[in-house]
């Protein structure tokens, strides 16, 4: 699936089929605005005209790819993409009422109507729908990112004020972690999809990120950075995952998780993003590391996050590459499936798919794509 201006010249038959769903998403969005504002005369062209007002702002986010299109073509393109993404989230997270609850028959019928046209891609029927997972993988790819302010613009047209639009956006984006192999839990319980268990500190920062992030992948990066850092903690991932001084390059290697465990080190998940040792003596210490969840989509999600950090790292004032450094740390600890087993036992790794050997390969391969190793004294 193509999103944004980079791939529009490379369309094939499958891409045109997706465009039909994008058009349907525009029609549904227009209908939402009509109902919300009690304006039966609101048209698709008025919706596109609103996006056209931010044409220059959109073009400023791209280099040459956006300049190939007229204002009309560009506004059509980004209206379709933004509406499709928002409708995808709405449809994917809208679970129908339980069948045995007879008091919600009307709601169930309304949900069925809502799903009717999008059911081929996103239907919720208690089973995993492969299409919506494939689409989610495309949505989080770095090359498919579109400016987040375009999505906010569409939501603001639906709502009466910006705060309501941002609030709905927060609720929709909380479900990013369900579809994308989101590696770190936002929840304070084992069920990462229970929104009431989302860490209040994380939730309070989401609205800020929605207003400041460049796009959805950047939003995800900011959220993960919050998870891996905590200003209230004396030793945070920001401090512990920064590159060590180059004078520490003394040829010594970082022991693997198995070797550390055999030496008496205990692993446990770090709280508040902490990466630290607890204990006065090394051989009886506890090594605290934020827990990572690995499933089918974790590798592609992390690869795109790492690529984003690489791009941002080339700027004049780059931010610390927290995610890349975390992966380097895990790479240093993992040589074989035995190391994965030690970290799983310590609840530092939560595996939802694959063998321990596959997880070890995934982590090691991820590091091959990172330009600079922030731990120059380590073995890999």
Q: Is residue 322 part of a domain?
A: yes
pLDDT of residue 249: 45
pLDDT of residue 315: 54
Q: Is residue 162 part of a domain?
A: no
Higher pLDDT, 304 or 5: 304
Q: Is residue 232 part of a domain?
A: no
Backbone angles phi, psi at 185, to 5 degrees: -80, 140
Long-range pairs of 172-178 with CB within 8 A, sequence gap ≥ 24 = 172/86, 172/89, 172/90, 172/93, 173/89, 173/206, 173/210, 173/216, 173/219, 174/198, 174/206, 175/89, 175/92, 175/93, 176/140, 176/216, 176/220, 178/92, 178/93
Q: Is residue 177 part of a domain?
A: no
For the cut 90, the answer to whether the pLDDT of residue 363 exceeds it is: yes
* Tally of structural domains, the chain: 2
For the cut 50, the answer to whether the pLDDT of residue 377 exceeds it is: no
Q: Report, as an integer, the average pLDDT of 352-377.
A: 77
Higher pLDDT, 34 or 369: 34
For the cut 80, the answer to whether the pLDDT of residue 218 exceeds it is: yes
Higher pLDDT, 324 or 92: 324
The pTM of the full predicted model, rounded to 2 decimals, is 0.81
CA distance 148 to 165: 13
pLDDT of residue 242: 44
For the cut 70, the answer to whether the pLDDT of residue 49 exceeds it is: yes
For the chain, the average pLDDT equals 77
- Residue 286 pairs in a beta bridge with 266, 278
User: CA separation (Å) from 288 to 53, 181, 225, 272, 346?
Assistant: 50, 22, 17, 10, 9
pLDDT of residue 21: 84
DSSP string, 83-117: HHHHHHHHHHH-PPPPTT-GGGHHHHHHHHHHHTT
pLDDT of residue 18: 76
Domain that holds residue 318: 237-368
- Asked which of 134, 150, 168 is the last residue of a domain, the reply is 134
Q: Is residue 161 part of a domain?
A: no
pLDDT of residue 16: 61
Let me know whether 126 and 247 are in one domain.
no
Q: Is residue 376 part of a domain?
A: no
CB atoms within 10 A of CB 20: 10
- Asked which of 109, 134, 159 is the last residue of a domain, the reply is 134
CA distance 219 to 207: 10
- Residue 278 pairs in a beta bridge with 286
Instruction: Determine which of 160-164, 292-296, 336-340 has the lowest per-residue pLDDT on average.
Output: 160-164
Beta sheet of 276-278, edge-to-edge order: 266-269, 286-289, 276-278
Note the pLDDT tens digit of each residue in 109-132.
Answer: 554 555 554 555 545 444 445 677
Let me know whether 359 and 247 are in one domain.
yes
Q: Is residue 178 part of a domain?
A: no
Give burial (CB, 10 Å; 0-12/13-18/19+) of 40. exposed
Q: Is residue 170 part of a domain?
A: no
Higher pLDDT, 278 or 222: 222
For the cut 90, the answer to whether the pLDDT of residue 79 exceeds it is: yes
- Asked which of 72, 103, 134 is the last residue of a domain, the reply is 134
Contact 207, 170 (CB under 8 A): yes
For the cut 50, the answer to whether the pLDDT of residue 207 exceeds it is: yes
């Amino acid at each position: 699936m193509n999103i944004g201006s980079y791939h529009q010249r490379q369309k094939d038959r499958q891409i045109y089929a997706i465009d039909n769903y994008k058009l349907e998403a525009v029609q549904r969005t227009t209908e939402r605005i009509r109902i919300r504002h009690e304006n039966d005369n609101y048209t698709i062209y008025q919706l596109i005209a609103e996006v056209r007002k931010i044409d220059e702002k959109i073009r400023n986010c791209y280099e040459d790819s956006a300049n190939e299109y007229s204002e009309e073509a560009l506004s059509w393109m980004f209206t379709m993409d933004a509406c499709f993404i928002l409708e995808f989230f709405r449809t994917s997270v809208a679970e129908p009422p339980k069948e045995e609850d007879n008091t919600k028959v009307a709601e169930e019928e309304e949900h069925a109507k809502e799903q009717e046209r999008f059911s081929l891609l996103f239907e919720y029927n208690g089973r995993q729908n492969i299409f919506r997972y494939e689409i989610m993988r495309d949505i989080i790819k770095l090359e498919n990112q579109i400016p987040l302010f375009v999505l906010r613009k569409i939501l603001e047209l639906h709502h009466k004020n910006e705060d309501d639009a941002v609030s709905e956006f927060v609720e929709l984006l909380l479900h990013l972690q369900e579809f994308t192999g989101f590696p770190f839990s936002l929840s304070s319980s084992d069920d990462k999809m229970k929104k009431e268990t989302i860490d209040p500190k994380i939730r309070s920062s989401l609205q800020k990120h929605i207003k400041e992030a460049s796009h959805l992948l950047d939003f995800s990066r900011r959220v993960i950075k919050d998870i891996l850092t905590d200003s209230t903690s004396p030793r945070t991932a920001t401090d512990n995952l920064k590159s060590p001084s180059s004078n520490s390059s003394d040829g010594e290697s970082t022991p693997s998780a198995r070797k550390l465990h055999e030496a008496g080190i205990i692993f446990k998940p770090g709280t508040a993003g902490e990466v630290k040792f607890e204990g006065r003596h090394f051989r009886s210490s506890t090594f605290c590391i934020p827990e990572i969840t690995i499933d089918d989509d974790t590798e592609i999600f992390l690869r795109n996050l790492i690529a984003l950090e690489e791009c941002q790292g080339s700027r004049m004032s780059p931010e610390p590459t927290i995610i890349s450094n975390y992966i380097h740390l895990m790479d240093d600890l993992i040589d074989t499936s035995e190391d994965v087993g030690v970290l799983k036992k310590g609840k530092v790794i939560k595996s939802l798919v694959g063998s321990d050997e596959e997880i070890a390969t995934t982590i090691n391969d991820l590091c091959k794509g990172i330009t600079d190793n922030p731990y120059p004294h380590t073995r890999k």
